[in-house]
Amino acid sequence: MVCVLVAALLLLAPAAPTPASPAAGPNAPTSAEARPSTSPAAGPNAPTSAEERRARAQAAFEHGRFAEAALEYEALWREGHGASDLFNAAASRFALRHYAHAVAHLESLLALPTLTPAQRGEAANLEKIARGKTVAVTLVLRSARPLTAPLTVTFGTVSAFASDLRPDISKTIGPGDRTALALDPGAWRVSVDDPRFEPLTLEVRVEASTPTAPQVLELRARPDARALRRFALGWGAAGAVGVVVGAGLVGGGQGRWSSRLDTPIDQCVSGSPVYPIEACRDALAGAGNLRTAGAGVLGAGAGAVVGGLLALAPTPRERKIGWTVTASLGGLAVIGGAVALGLGSQAFGERNDRSEWTAEDHRALERAATTHSVGAAFLGFGGGMLASSVTGLVLERAGRFLVSASPQARVGGAGVVIQGRF
């Protein structure tokens, strides 16, 4: 109560602050600002002058309407009026026992370089008293990469009553800083809304009698539009090249497979000087493997395109959900494709032995080779989706996964180089 009376005495200083008052300074309103408007526009609906609002706020304080006084003084300070308004806002918050807001106002006041030593001493003394009535809560910022620039953290009270109006408090935290927040007992909401990071909100319960554990804010970098476009272009280009190359291999392998499988059975009799059965078996297996390899490359290219296109989703939540779903489906496709690949290989080996082929052998070899190729396609498709989706989730979390694809052509061949960097 003594502190409140001291604050009130300081608040009730004359409208033109004396040099000893912490409200005085070059930012105090001039006489021109204080005079009512005499322009032709003045009238019943003319804007109220700063001096009239200040007098109304002082009257509200005198009659114990501290919330009304605090809101008015805070509005005057935000509009660029004198430092006296900031001190009076702090005194009003002190009278309301909103000590965290009083501390924040007085810290901003003490940061002004225009205060005299006497003014600074009075403000520092009130700030010390207000801080002693708060609870220190340590705030720790964590991010995948070190901060290169200060970050603004906003914290506000979770009020139980609609009439409990308190503005949010903003605090700038430098890279690597562990900041001790001076908070009143009660529920608080700490949030970060920075274009470099995903929006983050944390609720903290502050108890007067129990120490509050350090609050950790896990910052997740927000990728910019250029990085997302680069990601989509990289995986899209790599996937398109994979689709084209895979389709070519499938076509070539299918042509060789058909010609080998259509070879007359009597030309594959063991010991035949025209086409020994061993050579027939190896040629057919080679054609089947070529087709299977093409199916795997084709599937991987298609999966990469799917994961890359998800980077064009408009919101981070949609991108995260899309990549999570495709990564899960990709993992299942990899498992199913691997099983089918193994079954097809086993069935093909059982039929493609050293004995003479029959019509039933031909049908069994066709089924086994088809299972083999389909398994490779699913394996490649799942692997492409899994790789592109996982790297997309890394991009969404760290904001810095760069992937690019560059086709290369040379005499006798062509290829594509994929580069990624965390």
CATH number of domain containing 208: 2.60.40
Residue 44 lies in a domain: no
Q: What type of residue sits at position 327?
A: A
Long-range CB contact pairs, 52-56, < 8 A, 24+: 54/15, 54/29, 54/85, 55/15
User: So what's the pLDDT on residue 244?
Assistant: 92
Q: Which residues lie below 8 Å from residue 115, measured CB to CB, with a gap of 6+?
A: 22, 25, 83, 109, 123
Residues 80 and 159 in one domain: no
Q: Which domain holds residue 272?
A: 225-421
Residues 408 and 322 in one domain: yes
Q: Which residues lie below 8 Å from residue 351, measured CB to CB, with a gap of 6+?
A: 361, 364, 365, 368
User: So what's the pLDDT on residue 6?
Assistant: 43
Last-in-domain residue among 195, 220, 245:
220
CATH number at residue 9: 1.25.40
Residues 203 and 304 in one domain: no
The pLDDT > 90 percentage for the chain reads: 23
pLDDT digits (tens, 9 = 90+) for 301-354: 999 999 888 888 877 788 889 889 999 999 999 999 999 888 888 877 776 665
DSSP 332: H
DSSP 356: P
User: So what's the pLDDT on residue 199?
Assistant: 81
Residue 38 lies in a domain: no
Residues 209 and 102 in one domain: no
User: So what's the pLDDT on residue 381?
Assistant: 93
Last-in-domain residue among 132, 166, 199:
132
Residues 173 and 267 in one domain: no
User: So what's the pLDDT on residue 270?
Assistant: 54
The whole-angstrom separation of Cα 151 and Cα 143 is 12
pLDDT digits (tens, 9 = 90+) for 236-257: 898 999 999 999 998 888 888 7
Residues 305 and 409 in one domain: yes
Give me the residues of the chain with pLDDT under 70, please: 1-48, 144-145, 175-177, 223-224, 261-278, 351-358, 397-422
Residue 42 lies in a domain: no
Residue 306 lies in a domain: yes
Residues 162 and 265 in one domain: no
Say what the pTM is: 0.51
Residues 156 and 303 in one domain: no
CA contacts within 13 A on the Cβ side of 6: 12
Residues 127 and 79 in one domain: yes
The whole-angstrom separation of Cα 291 and Cα 123 is 82
- Specify which residues 136 forms β-bridges with: 182
Last-in-domain residue among 132, 155, 184:
132
Q: Which residues lie below 8 Å from residue 6, measured CB to CB, with a gap of 6+?
A: 126
Q: Which residues lie below 8 Å from residue 159, measured CB to CB, with a gap of 6+?
A: 165, 166
DSSP 221: B
CA-nearest of 158, 165, 154 to 205 is 158
Total number of domains in the chain: 3
Q: Which residue has the tokens 């991987």?
A: 300
Residues 200 and 280 in one domain: no
Residues 94 and 140 in one domain: no
User: So what's the pLDDT on residue 163?
Assistant: 79
DSSP element (H, E) containing 370:
helix 359-398
Q: What type of residue sits at position 114?
A: T
CA-nearest of 158, 194, 233 to 419 is 233
Distances in Å between the alpha carbon of 382 and those of 116, 218, 346? 70, 31, 22
Residues 283 and 305 in one domain: yes
